[in-house]
A and B are shown apart, each in its own frame.
Chain A
Amino acid sequence: MNFNKYLAITKIEMSRQLQHRFQVASYRVGNLIEVIIPLIIWTVAFRSAGVIKGYTYDEMITYVVVGWLILYLTASYGFERVLALLIYDGALSQFITKPISFLRYAFTLGFSRSLLAIFLSLIIQAGVIFIAREHIVFRAGLLDGLILILMVALAVVIRLFYSILISLAAFWTDEISGVDFTASSIIKFFSGAFFPVNILPAFFMNLSLATPFIYTYYFPVQIVLGKVSTVSAVKGLAVELLWIFIMYAIIKIVWRAGLRKYESVGI
């Protein structure tokens, strides 16, 4: 594998992102509002209760603020639609005829595409954390901290794989935005972004623990809050890795089937 190829993709995509810096930055304002709303709701809810479902007020503030930070770090920012369009309008052809793997191209592009947004989100969220600093709880030790970083890094891969998988639907259907919207909402639900999943009945809680999306929010925040043991955290990492392996296999299978269709129809 020639590393320069992929570095060149990162460079060109970063230049493109910088061309659109205003657009990227303006999205982040919306993100800020998405963080403020749950903060208001929980602040009101905690006026009449000291502890809700095992969360103190400070823990809940941490859950929202740190959780959204992780969500932004692992987001793919609508990458599935970018990729789907490439397939749908036939631009895929130019990749098929060039000495480069489309899937690797897609992965590199998706990652590079998020870099500027991640950077801006980090700044904004650092501001929010600073403002709320008296309420932020951080109970992860050094080892847990390392596991946390690894977990978030793997969650980035999970989100990108997911986007690639969704985009491959474009081989069979003209429009993926409907599928995408519904799937994104379900994912957010299971990730714990709307509220901690342990608020739910045990069945849903277990269900979300079995999805790969729990690692883009709920699980890493539990490490921050010191609510999971190191052993469970390592187990979490293992499940995450298993998911990455499964998603990779599915992508390969779906890609091959899609390509066969592309080859026969040309789209």
Chain B
Amino acid sequence: MPIIKVKKLSKTYEYYKKSPGLWASVKGLFRREKLFTEAVKDINFTIDEGELVGFLGPNGAGKTTTLKMLSGILYPTSGEASVMGYTPWQREKEYQKQFALVMGQKNQLWWDLPAMESFILNKEIYEVPDKDFKYNLDELVELLGIKDILDIQVRKLSLGQRMKCELVAALLHKPRVLYLDEPTIGLDVIAQKNIRDFIKKYNRENKTTIMLTSHYMEDIKELCDRVIIIDRGIIIYDGGLDSLIAKYAPYKELNLTFNGDGVRREEIKKFGQVAKYEPFAVTLKVDREMVKDAARKILASGLPVDDIMIDEVDVDDVIRRMFNDSRNS
């Protein structure tokens, strides 16, 4: 049973053209040229309860606009959406009590007070009973390991600590649906990993439906079995990450290290397409089905092989190729 249903959803922004220069600004006082941007165009998808779906796309692709419509901040220009049976932009209290939106670039915690104060405020806003509040808080604090920072002013926390507190604030009312917009933005590698591990565990244990947008491929690779890729307002891919790679990267990479005198380009290129060449380190692109065979042949060829590794191509490359394809078509 899908918990989120989106049908032909579109959003067009209106804005006014602002040319540079003083004279243009003066002219703008009297006559303004109206422009339109189609941020989201006729998108369709459904998400099942408990799914963790990655929403991927370059800046301005329409990811945040979609999340804003699903959380009821924006009215769509046309189309329908239903989350848990509610139409988000009608902003029914019953709906609002069952979802949460976390934006990595905005904070909801009170800046000059300890995070605990904001948690208590949210408890009252979401009308969470005392017992549930205590239970949920303990669970989240334990999972995120932030017991010792609850009484420190939010502005004195590091970005990573703050993001953990943001997550606690958003999850205290146990939402069934969670929208995460760039939750790891600006964090260092370790903090990113902590947040990722938490999201993964939380989704698994609580069966919370999560939609996550991110620029970081690691987030998507680690967390999401399914990705929706959006570019210039259009969904260009919706499916498993595995099949995405199989479809857009029909080859694997053979990373070879040589010793002795190394190899010459001519000696190696008959085994596959040379992606990177140095006398002692070569990367070959080989068809998925052929890769084991190629490795065997290289080992048997008498070349001074020191090491051989078969790697999956980088998802980043795959996605980049996809965007190129979609723009050229």
CB contacts (< 8 Å) of A262 on chain B: these are: 73
Whether the pair A100, B15 counts as a contact (CB closer than 8 A) is no
B161 at the interface (CB under 8 A from A): no
Please classify the interface of chain B as helix (H, G, I), strand (E, B), loop, or mixed, using the class held by over half of its residues: mixed
Whether the pair B68, A266 counts as a contact (CB closer than 8 A) is yes
Knowing A8-B120, A12-B117, A100-B125, the reply to whether A263 touches B74 (Cβ < 8 A) is: yes
Partner of A5, one of B65, B75, B108, B124: B124
CA distance A99 to B98 in the complex (A): 10
- The stretch of A46-54, A88-96, A214-222, A224-232 that contacts the partner chain: A88-96
- The stretch of B44-52, B88-96, B197-205 that contacts the partner chain: B88-96
Whether the pair A12, B110 counts as a contact (CB closer than 8 A) is yes
Instruction: Report the minimum CB–CB distance from B163 to chain A (whole Å).
Output: 15
Knowing A263-B89, A266-B68, the reply to whether A97 touches B73 (Cβ < 8 A) is: yes
CA distance A125 to B215 in the complex (A): 57
CB contacts (< 8 Å) of A15 on chain B: these are: 113, 117
A182 at the interface (CB under 8 A from B): no
Whether the pair B93, A99 counts as a contact (CB closer than 8 A) is yes
Please classify the interface of chain A as helix (H, G, I), strand (E, B), loop, or mixed, using the class held by over half of its residues: helix
Knowing A16-B112, A99-B93, A263-B73, the reply to whether A9 touches B121 (Cβ < 8 A) is: yes
CA distance A12 to B108 in the complex (A): 13
Partner of B72, one of A11, A12, A96: A96
Fill in one digit per residue for A7-24: 1 if any B CB lies within 8 Å of its CB, else 0.
Answer: 111011001100110000
Instruction: Report the minimum CB–CB distance from B304 to chain A (whole Å).
Output: 61
Partner of B14, one of A9, A91, A264: A264
CB contacts (< 8 Å) of A26 on chain B: these are: none
B71 at the interface (CB under 8 A from A): yes
Partner of B113, one of A5, A7, A12: A12
A173 at the interface (CB under 8 A from B): no
CA distance A262 to B13 in the complex (A): 11
CA distance A100 to B122 in the complex (A): 10
Closest to B94 in A: A99
Closest 8 CB pairs of A and B: A8-B124, A263-B75, A99-B96, A99-B93, A5-B124, A94-B108, A93-B73, A97-B71
A residues engaging B (CB < 8 A)?
Answer: 2, 4-5, 7-9, 11-12, 15-16, 19-20, 90-91, 93-94, 96-100, 260, 262-266
Q: List 9 A-B contacts (CB under 8 A).
A: A8-B123, A16-B113, A96-B72, A96-B73, A96-B91, A97-B101, A99-B97, A260-B75, A265-B15
